[in-house]
Amino acid sequence: MMSRVPASTGMTLLLGLALTGCATRVPTPSQAPAPTPVVMALAPVPTPAPSPQADPVVELIAISTLHFEAGERELQFGHLTAAKTAFNRALEVLLDSPFGGRTEPRMREHFDRLVERISAHEVTALAEGDGFAEQHPETAGIDEILAITTFEVPSATVETTQAVAADLETMVHDIDIPLNAKVLSFVELFTGRLKSFLEEGLSRSLQYLPAIQRIFRAEGLPLDLAYVPLVESAFKPTALSRSRAKGIWQFMRGTALENGLKHDWYVDERAEPEKATRAAARYLKSLYETFDGDWHLALASYNGGPGRVQRAMKRSGRSDFWKLTASSRYLPRETRNYVPLILAAIIIARNPAMYGFEIQPVEPLQFETVTLTTAVDLRRVAEWIGMPIQTLQELNPELRRWTTPVRADEYDLRVPYGTADIVRAQMAESDPTELAPLNWYTVKKGETLLSVAKRLKVSRLDLAEANYLSTRARLQSGQRLIVPRAPTLLLAARPETAPPAIEASPEPTVVAVSSRAPSGVSRRPEPVTYRVKRGDTLSSIARLYRTTVASLKTWNRLRSNSIQVGQRLTILTHRTAAATN
């Protein structure tokens, strides 16, 4: 918007003095000359400059841009429906104007650029918009620590040695912690190079320690072992190591399944701290029994596996961990270092102030539980309660993807305290088929899991796991399969090739989608006219033209999803042209 500068006005004051001739005597009052009149002349007032007329095209573009920017902000919070509404409004402002979307040159340029920018957002949103994009894990602390301990570990200073000795004399531990060079060296490492790492982990641990200690106390386990996650994961629920161990207790998938944790396409309970702690308690107890009540050997086997430790004991003829690890012949460096690392972390964690640690407690999130009987997209719930999706992900770290399990009879979703009633009310008012943006495929006669996977360009394993099937499962004609990828991403065939018959959810969660052009090529939106045929739906037409129902409704001013045979629809497609600068 242009600013107006008002024209300045001024007035010139002119003083005219009529002077009489000089006289040699001073006149008497009666003889004084009449006062000279003061003449005031006003300067001409300039005519105000005409106010510049507002440019309606500029104003429309500005309003459209505001809606687009609002949509971008909603996307950052994971609010796809609100983002879709804002993006559509950014286009509608132009389409509903007297100029239309593309008649005025500046409007056309803005409209085309807007469609491209929205499409760029939607390419990313579609990769996650079907609810099947896996959440990004965090780096496991154990990888960082072991990378450092591969090199020479610093020797303990006199000050560190004296501090630890005094600490062990006064602090009561429920597992044996020897005052030896290895333990002291790792205390030195934690109070030096890894101090910030340990401080962050200790701050984060305060969210989980009460529950861990409660479970360990009930199971009769040493409470000192509650600090094992400090080294394993720095208490990050979604931590994933290079060896694919996950969660605060860093379970491998097989070990997790053996100890009662669930792992499928939708849920990984290794990332749920309380469930994983119960599994860790069971596993630690079994290791303790395997090694006849020796916690040092049990901890070594927690890292390296009980079989490896038992073989090392048999080969060496040694049953004491410290004697067993005096030589590098029997156990790998990682396992040899693991036990003194854990013991050093326990020493500091039990008395952090003594070692100069400043702990900033991270308060646990307060939550309520809502029992769901159908799959729900977390982003939809985030919009209902007006919070970022990250809040729901932090409360439900076991959910691998953006959706709750599809075929679970019930799922207990944690929501922020005070929002459970809002979620229940929204669930009651919503169509269950629209709560999760799922894509379905109906199996045809003679098709196999492999042939369907190839047809839909997904892996057979992904297709099987998303449908709770084994990779060798036989399919039946008419069987409906969940497709673990968004429809637009599946349309990789040439335009003249008919796309696979995928049944999308009634209302996709994103707006106008365009395919990405090759390098050096741009996609220019062009309107085409399509005549509705018998059996067509907005969803099928949207899939055919690689767009969405929302966009079709916007471009054609449709108030519902209903269309008639013979009806003409305007569809904005993208013509490939060489990019010009």
Assign 531 to helix, strand or coil.
strand
- Three-state DSSP string of 323-378: HHCCCCCCCCHHHHHHHHHHHHHHHHHHCHHHHCCCCCCCCCCCEEEEEECCCCEH
Instruction: Kindly provide the residue ranges of all beta strands, DSSP E only, lying in 107-167, ordered along the sequence.
Output: 138-139
**Scanning the structure block, which residue is given the tokens 């450092």?**
148
Residue 363 annotated among the catalytic residues of the structure: no
Cα 89 to Cα 20, 66, 93, 94, 368: the distances in Å are: 81, 10, 6, 9, 35
Strand pairing partners for 377?
A: 403
Assign 281 to helix, strand or coil.
helix
Cα 349 to Cα 169, 205, 221, 427: the distances in Å are: 16, 10, 17, 44
**Scanning the structure block, which residue is given the tokens 């303790």?**
288
Cα 160 to Cα 13, 181, 263, 562: the distances in Å are: 89, 11, 43, 76
Strand pairing partners for 267?
A: 399
Q: Would you call 506 exposed, middle or buried from its count of C-beta atoms within 10 A (0-12, 13-18, 19+)?
A: middle
571: number of Cβ within 10 Å: 20
Nearest Cα neighbor of 571 from 513, 510, 486 is 513
Measured CA to CA, the distance from residue 551 to residue 99 in angstroms comes to 20
User: In one letter, which amino acid is 399?
Assistant: L
Q: For residue 103, what are its two tokens?
A: 């008649």
Measured CA to CA, the distance from residue 454 to residue 463 in angstroms comes to 10
Strand pairing partners for 531?
A: 568
Q: Would you call 60 exposed, middle or buried from its count of C-beta atoms within 10 A (0-12, 13-18, 19+)?
A: buried
| Catalytic option among 122, 188, 199, 232 | 232
Measured CA to CA, the distance from residue 537 to residue 283 in angstroms comes to 54
Q: Which residues are identified as catalytic?
A: 232
